Chain A
Amino acid sequence: MAQAPSQSELQEGQIIAPGHSFGTITDKIGSIVQARRTPKRWWTGFLIGFTLMMLLFLTIGNLLARGIGIWGNNAPVGWGFDIVNFVWWIGIGHAGTLISAILLLLRQRWRTSINRFAEAMTLFAVACAGLYPLFHMGRPWFFYWLLPYPNTMELWPQWRSPLIWDVFAVTTYATVSLLFWFIGLIPDMATLRDRSKWWIGRVFYGILAMGWRGSAVHWHRYETAYLLLAGLATPLVVSVHTVVSFDFAVSIVPGWHVTIFPPYFVAGAIYSGFAMVLTLAIPLRKMYKLEDFITDTHLDYMARIMLTTGLMVAYGYGIELFMAWYSGNVYEKGLIANRLIGPYRWFFYALIACNVVAPQLLWFKKVRYSPWTLFVLSLIVNLGMWLERYVIIVVSLHRDYLPSSWGMYSGTGWDWSMYLGTIGLFFACLFLFIRFLPVISIFEMRTLLPEAHVHTEKEAKP
């Protein structure tokens, strides 16, 4: 893991405040978990999340009892909030793997202080996302028919359907993310085990540490496994959202049948993923006074990635409009006209405002170094990305080929309660994570200290 810090990086800005030692890092991060008192703010946040999570269970109960009809989905618009939110959550889940795997391979050492909770965020977002394809089905109790398993009906899934690809892409992604996250946690689990003053803590963290003793062999194996998983996870960053975009691109619905979708969806996913990391990191570092570790430089870097991916997404919007005109296809033109002047036009304009106009502020260094402006911007981008999925899914479906079938769609109260419920689930899990697991990788933070690089020369070439 220990790499030579590149000169250029250090000049960018500081990624750890000066004056820290191995001990202070461990104390600071470990104390969040091992504090005897749970802060009031934590309780507030957790209870809000928990309450909303209960709303989710209520919605799911009602959904199972009565059917999809409690949502707003209808005849032209077969997918509404369900798939909008699925894609939104999956997109958010993208930043984690990107930060942990790709930035690791690219030796971006600043990732160290954000990778742990970004990965946790990924897991929770994928869990929220996963609920939607499951419960949007008319008969969710038969979800396992989408899995290839030997059965007396001698039936397999239909491999040409992008939904099957989805099942594999999302489950693979969830599995690899979980493994990656857990392996990254092992050394820290051992640290917490050793620091625990209470036997329950020692047992809990002891089990999770899986017998980690910090021997050279352990470290060697650990480094190899982590690097291999990073290699495995890297294509997933691209593949998951590519496959999600196939749900649309493979169909023949105008507005869905677009070849640019895979890269455009991946860029959008990273965009929204980093927005969500910022949304979480800024209050988090404030709440637990982690400005030493999550420095303004981190925020700056993330803002730059947002700006870059935001521009890619904007390019995608432009190309969609251009190709619709250039194709001369009456349905594509009709679709774009409907986007621009149809009944949902304000969704489109709001999306442009959120995703294209607002992020242009990130060109300014001042904005990038102003945490609260960034926080607001990240919320705007999250909203914008939700709108983007709404525009792609609902606005394409509601007016397709035959005007006789054109209709309108709007989410019902149960659509909103499901959405709020998944947000609740996300935050409830996140708060539990903050309380019980180290939000920042302790041992990796230690490697950022100068004293960790005494033997750099040798260790750099294992």
Chain B
Amino acid sequence: MKRPPLDPELIRDRLAVEQGKRYWRSLEELADDPAVREMVEREFPDSASQWTDPVSRRRFLALMGASLGLAGLVGCTRPTGTIMPYVKQPEHLTPGIPLHFATAMTQGGFATGLVVESHEGRPTKIEGNRNHPASLGATTVQQQAAILGLYDPDRSQSVMFRDQPRSWMSLLEILRQRLQSSNKGKGVAVLCETIGSPTLEAQRKAFQQAFPELRWFTYEPINRDQVVAAATLAFGKPLHSYYRLTNADVIVSFDADFLAQGPGCLAYTRQFTARRKEGGKGVGMNRLYVVETDVSVTGSRADHRLAVKPSEVEKLTRALAALLKIDGVAMPTLDDKQRRWIEAVARDLTQVNQAPRPAGSTAVLVGELQPAKVQALVHAINHRLGNFGQTVLFTEPLPIAQPNQRQSLEALTTALAKNELDTLLILGGNPVYNAPADLPLGERLANKLKESKTWLAVRVGEHYDETSRACHWHVPRTHFLEEWSDGLAYDGTACIVQPLIAPLYGGKSFHELLALLTPIGPEGQSYDSRSVEEIIRAYWEQSHPKDAKESFERFWQRALHDGVVRGSTPPTLVPTLLDGFTSKPEMLPSVSPESDGLEIVFAPDYATYDGRFANNGWLQEWPKPLTRLSWDNAVIMGPETAKQLGLSTRVDQWKGGEHGSTIADTISLTAPPRYSLRGVPIWIQPGHAEGALTVHLGYGRERVGRVGTKVGFNANKIRPTSAWFLTGVKVSKLNQTHELACQQAHHSMEGRDIVRSGKVNEYKPPKKHALPTLFDGKDHPYDGYKWAMAVDLSACTGCGACVVACQAENNIPIVGKDQVQRAREMHWLRIDRYYETPLEDNNADPYYHFQPVMCQHCENAPCEVVCPVEATVHGDEGTNDMVYNRCVGTRYCANNCPYKVRRFNFLEYADFKTPSLKLQYNPEVTVRTRGVMEKCTFCIQRISHARIEASRGALEGDPERKDPHGRRVQGKELPYIPDESLYTACEAACPAEALVFGDLNDVARKVGTKGHPGSEVARLRESELSYDLLGELGVRPRVFYLASLRNPNPELEGA
């Protein structure tokens, strides 16, 4: 019998999740496991026979021994090295009390600071780091979901040579030999994803110094080639730029989805929405113009949105430049609508109330994937508007080389074709999957693998994927929560990435690999034996000024604790434009494409980005903001285009219908010169530019894992190297259809009072009046805490981070595409999306409304009265509580819920089996079995936690915990819980701060001589914008909404 290899992870996993009575039973099971038996056998060969003896003293002792030995295994999960707990630093770890550590996640070369909750050494939840400029406490969807990526059971788990597991040392020996035997690295190449870590950059330099002939290539499909090129065009060097939108009264975006994509999106959302809430709260509401093709999250928030074909973005940018009288820019030909629109924008940018608009009070943003000349033009526009140093900030180039990745990949493909290389090390990325269609990288690698005897290809990656398959060796890569590293934020601020857990699957980080391959010492015969932590630390120590007041040790501790390297933000500068750069040949207008065929634009996906998150179930099931599609990508087009092509989608009546399943026509796409995609589904998006198509990357993975393999189609197959859009695309309808999982195919509010919206200054809220009641009984007084949540619809961008944050916090399972199609998704919090046709103009772009809906915690909850077993009951602080273990699953509560927020476990959705996924579960939240109803709890575990903390504080005599209202509950003084000490998961994740949770009884009042500001939610409840969703039902929800306000330009209104 072949014994399976002993898997300490598995044992550790088993031990980590088994508690109480089951512990002993499973230990027996464990001890009987052949793997464990083998381990013991090896240790004590004589006593092996004892295991067959049913009961003996020796067996008892062996069991005791096994339990001790295995206890040690549990201990190994702790990360090695010193890491600093964030915020709460108990003397030692208290079981049951989570610790929080600052770290950072890097995506596309830029880091966002995070704080990760860790329960006894296992990270369970990611939050934003309030100290970090790119996070400000918020997170993106992908950052929220990254925790699941850590525990992904499909991550590769050992060093592999082809299909055989091998040891890491053997590979290392081979690589070192290759490098040493080569002539200074000649013939050796590295293909790395975008580097974001300054230390890694330094290591790369050292590595290349040791092997000067070694060639280093960089590639990621979504890169900053054009940003760098534009800065070089405009300023002569690749200055780094970012925005500060706080003081921008008018914002124009040329295809920049700055609210949902890119390294600064969280900060930009915070700055942007601060000026949207409650009509701009005194400083006035900003106004957003967006020019784009597909409806992006940013576009959906625009006061005026102009849908144009991808090739026309340049024209409109040029038109704005021309209207602003920028030298050397001629007015392009525009149609009437575009001309009127851009003229109004130009006027709005330069004038306010017939007077000139002050300089620096506007911002023009441009998409990072737009051609360099467009981006350079926008620099010129911002310069003309005086925005440099005000809303558009510049710093010296960041300390990381930014090679042109497109050229880099081209060079690699050429080098492969010319047989210039014999060794290739691929670090991260997934170039075989996501290289553009005209670079036959995968083919070349496969040929090399087949034909060349001397060829050696090594891949370091999280999954054994398409690229790994094209290489000899595969090395598991650490997840960012398993490694030491560092990174730079969108504004250049540095931060340290600390590990939360030792590598689950023995992964190796790039730092480790480069250190082990870079020879040091005079003869270059020894290698760096430091740990990665020491390497990172050494990098920062060497740049730490020796004469600094603060010792390095203290500096380092603080950097780890805060998650931000203090004082590392590079100073901003006001650059000067190169004279007359606008008339350079590179700046000449592009030849407008022939009208033949459609245009197609490529975009990173909101969920899977460039495909790296394809195996993340939370992201796959997360409905995309506008389309509300999950588990698929589609060719997105406008209604007119679909009509002309004879394409349609229809609701699948046999499954969940409009709440789950849509049947879409499929098409075959042919793009010049010879690329095609067959059998791809379409999606009709109101507001999408006509005559153009949008496809998202990140799908159609050939090999990644059980979640992401063969989901959707791979848009890279028709993506050219040259640009982010293509013209002359031909579409032909196929006879097959494709079932899409769309969680909301009903777009209209049916004239119901659901999302209230209006123009700022003109919005008149309907009169509030008390609902007549026949009930003469006494209401519960709610004189203690009174939890409530405000949802500001003016601020909500629909980005959806809250949905995944809720999923992570509350152990919400994913159900898979089929169940989503059957309308059984489990999200406790959903973001409803509605389209509204403007009254003034039927043909205008619709208004896009987002409305996060979670359990409304009705004071008069209709679900509670109908439950036959009292499984859903009311807490005396006003929460509607769900008692899972009392629920028998009649589903009556869900039927009677007017908000339809209750979710039922129709099947066994929770994963009770996969060991690694069990580690992810939040131990404070029950994992629900089948047959049980569940729903939003207002994060009751966090409320309890805050209540306990407050009580403890009050007992210790903390004056902060003294209730300013002097409330008493059952004769006891109520400890005060301020807003800052309690955030629900959704609220914490929201970059717009659109969700505000707190104590409704904590109203502003005078306390002694000082004023007590009260809770934000109590203040918002009094706003005239606040309203109850379906308030007329008399259910008295505790969640209330603030009407959505727009700030349209009167000049463009009613057009």
Comparing B562-570, B600-608, B652-660, the segment that makes contact with chain A is B652-660
Q: Which of B796-847 contact A (CB under 8 A)?
A: 819, 822-825, 830, 832-834
A6 within 8 A of B: no
A7 within 8 A of B: no
In the complex with contacts A137-B890, A330-B751, A400-B898 CB distance below 8 A:
yes
Comparing B188-196, B486-494, B781-789, B901-909, the segment that makes contact with chain A is B901-909
A392 within 8 A of B: no
**A253 surroundings in chain B (CB, below 8 A):** 895-896
In the complex with contacts A252-B862, A401-B899, A75-B894 CB distance below 8 A:
yes
**Do B822 and A138 touch (CB < 8 A)?**
no
**B754 surroundings in chain A (CB, below 8 A):** 402-403
**Do A158 and B870 touch (CB < 8 A)?**
yes
B46 within 8 A of A: no
**Do B870 and A155 touch (CB < 8 A)?**
yes
B1055 within 8 A of A: no
A263 within 8 A of B: no
**Do B906 and A67 touch (CB < 8 A)?**
yes
**Do A68 and B931 touch (CB < 8 A)?**
yes
B588 within 8 A of A: no
A73 within 8 A of B: yes
Q: Which of B651, B654, B892 is A161 in contact with, Cβ under 8 Å?
A: B892
**A145 surroundings in chain B (CB, below 8 A):** 868-869, 886, 888
Q: Which of A141-196 contact B (CB under 8 A)?
A: 142-143, 145-146, 155-158, 160-164, 167
B693 within 8 A of A: no
CA A322 to CA B899, docked complex, whole Å: 26
Chain A, Cβ-Cβ closest to B826: A75
Q: Which of A393-448 contact B (CB under 8 A)?
A: 397-398, 400-410
B933 within 8 A of A: yes
**Do A74 and B890 touch (CB < 8 A)?**
no
A241 within 8 A of B: no
**B904 surroundings in chain A (CB, below 8 A):** 68, 73, 75, 78, 138
**B866 surroundings in chain A (CB, below 8 A):** 160-163, 250-251
A201 within 8 A of B: no
CA A398 to CA B903, docked complex, whole Å: 15
**Do A157 and B907 touch (CB < 8 A)?**
no
Q: Which of A69, A143, A163, A343 is B907 in contact with, Cβ under 8 Å?
A: A69
**B895 surroundings in chain A (CB, below 8 A):** 78-79, 251, 253, 397
Chain B, Cβ-Cβ closest to A404: B832
Q: Which of A146, A160, A252, A408 is B1033 in contact with, Cβ under 8 Å?
A: A252
**Do B933 and A138 touch (CB < 8 A)?**
yes
Q: Which of B840-888 contact A (CB under 8 A)?
A: 851, 853, 862, 865-870, 886-888
**Do B868 and A161 touch (CB < 8 A)?**
yes
**Do A74 and B865 touch (CB < 8 A)?**
no
CA A138 to CA B903, docked complex, whole Å: 12
B43 within 8 A of A: no
CA A137 to CA B889, docked complex, whole Å: 5
**A167 surroundings in chain B (CB, below 8 A):** 868
**A213 surroundings in chain B (CB, below 8 A):** none
Question: What are 23 of the A-B contact pairs (CB < 8 Å)?
Answer: A67-B906, A67-B908, A68-B889, A68-B931, A74-B659, A74-B824, A75-B894, A145-B886, A146-B888, A155-B886, A247-B892, A250-B866, A251-B866, A251-B896, A252-B898, A343-B653, A343-B657, A402-B752, A403-B748, A404-B744, A408-B652, A408-B653, A408-B658
**Do B824 and A161 touch (CB < 8 A)?**
no
Chain A, Cβ-Cβ closest to B862: A252
**Do A406 and B746 touch (CB < 8 A)?**
yes
Chain A, Cβ-Cβ closest to B653: A408
Chain B, Cβ-Cβ closest to A248: B895
In the complex, what's the smallest C-beta–C-beta distance from A31 to chain B, in angstroms?
48
**A139 surroundings in chain B (CB, below 8 A):** 887-889, 929-932
CA A95 to CA B487, docked complex, whole Å: 78
In the complex, what's the smallest C-beta–C-beta distance from A112 to chain B, in angstroms?
40
**Do B891 and A158 touch (CB < 8 A)?**
no
B749 within 8 A of A: yes
In the complex, what's the smallest C-beta–C-beta distance from A59 to chain B, in angstroms?
16
**Do B750 and A138 touch (CB < 8 A)?**
no
**Do A138 and B930 touch (CB < 8 A)?**
yes
In the complex, what's the smallest C-beta–C-beta distance from A133 to chain B, in angstroms?
8
Q: Which of B920-970 contact A (CB under 8 A)?
A: 929-933
Of all A-B residue pairs in the complex, the 5 with the closest CB atoms, nearest first, are A138-B889, A408-B657, A138-B931, A407-B659, A69-B906
In the complex with contacts A75-B903, A78-B904, A403-B750, A408-B651 CB distance below 8 A:
yes
Chain B, Cβ-Cβ closest to A344: B653
The interface of chain A, by Cβ under 8 A from chain B, is 66-70, 72-79, 133, 136-140, 142-143, 145-146, 155-158, 160-164, 167, 247, 250-253, 330-331, 334, 343, 397-398, 400-410
B900 within 8 A of A: yes
B71 within 8 A of A: no
In the complex, what's the smallest C-beta–C-beta distance from B118 to chain A, in angstroms?
34
B1030 within 8 A of A: yes
**Do A403 and B746 touch (CB < 8 A)?**
yes
CA A31 to CA B197, docked complex, whole Å: 96
Q: Which of B651, B834, B868, B1033 is A404 in contact with, Cβ under 8 Å?
A: B834
CA A68 to CA B894, docked complex, whole Å: 15
**Do A74 and B823 touch (CB < 8 A)?**
yes
Given contacts A75-B900, A250-B866, A330-B752, 14 further A-B contacts (CB under 8 A): A66-B907, A68-B906, A69-B906, A77-B823, A138-B888, A155-B870, A156-B870, A161-B867, A400-B900, A401-B1030, A406-B658, A408-B655, A408-B658, A408-B659
In the complex with contacts A76-B823, A343-B653, A405-B869 CB distance below 8 A:
no
Q: Which of B726-756 contact A (CB under 8 A)?
A: 744, 746, 748-752, 754
**B870 surroundings in chain A (CB, below 8 A):** 155-158
Q: Which of A251, A403, A409 is B862 in contact with, Cβ under 8 Å?
A: A251
**B752 surroundings in chain A (CB, below 8 A):** 330-331, 334, 401-403
Chain A, Cβ-Cβ closest to B872: A158
**A407 surroundings in chain B (CB, below 8 A):** 656-660, 823
Q: Which of B292-317 contact A (CB under 8 A)?
A: none
In the complex with contacts A75-B823, A410-B653, A410-B654, A138-B832 CB distance below 8 A:
no
In the complex, what's the smallest C-beta–C-beta distance from B59 to chain A, in angstroms?
37
**A69 surroundings in chain B (CB, below 8 A):** 819, 824, 906-907, 930
In the complex with contacts A78-B892, A161-B867, A343-B653, A406-B908 CB distance below 8 A:
no
Chain A, Cβ-Cβ closest to B832: A404
Q: Which of A78, A156, A157 is B894 in contact with, Cβ under 8 Å?
A: A78
**B851 surroundings in chain A (CB, below 8 A):** 404
In the complex with contacts A155-B886, A398-B657, A402-B832, A138-B907 CB distance below 8 A:
no
**B830 surroundings in chain A (CB, below 8 A):** 404
CA A247 to CA B658, docked complex, whole Å: 27
Chain A, Cβ-Cβ closest to B819: A69
**Do B744 and A143 touch (CB < 8 A)?**
no
B1020-1040 to A contact mask, C-beta < 8 Å, 1/0 = 000000000110010100000
Chain B, Cβ-Cβ closest to A330: B752
CA A343 to CA B746, docked complex, whole Å: 13
CA A155 to CA B930, docked complex, whole Å: 22
In the complex, what's the smallest C-beta–C-beta distance from B828 to chain A, in angstroms?
12
**Do B931 and A402 touch (CB < 8 A)?**
no
**Do A158 and B867 touch (CB < 8 A)?**
yes
In the complex, what's the smallest C-beta–C-beta distance from B539 to chain A, in angstroms?
50
CA A214 to CA B750, docked complex, whole Å: 71
Q: Which of A75, A157, A160, A406 is B865 in contact with, Cβ under 8 Å?
A: A160
CA A156 to CA B867, docked complex, whole Å: 12
In the complex, what's the smallest C-beta–C-beta distance from B449 to chain A, in angstroms?
44
**A402 surroundings in chain B (CB, below 8 A):** 752, 754, 832, 853, 898-900, 1029-1030
**B891 surroundings in chain A (CB, below 8 A):** 73, 78-79, 136, 138
**A138 surroundings in chain B (CB, below 8 A):** 887-891, 904-906, 930-933
**B1029 surroundings in chain A (CB, below 8 A):** 402
CA A75 to CA B830, docked complex, whole Å: 13
Residue among A74, A167, A247, A251 having the largest count of chain B Cβ atoms under 10 Å: A74
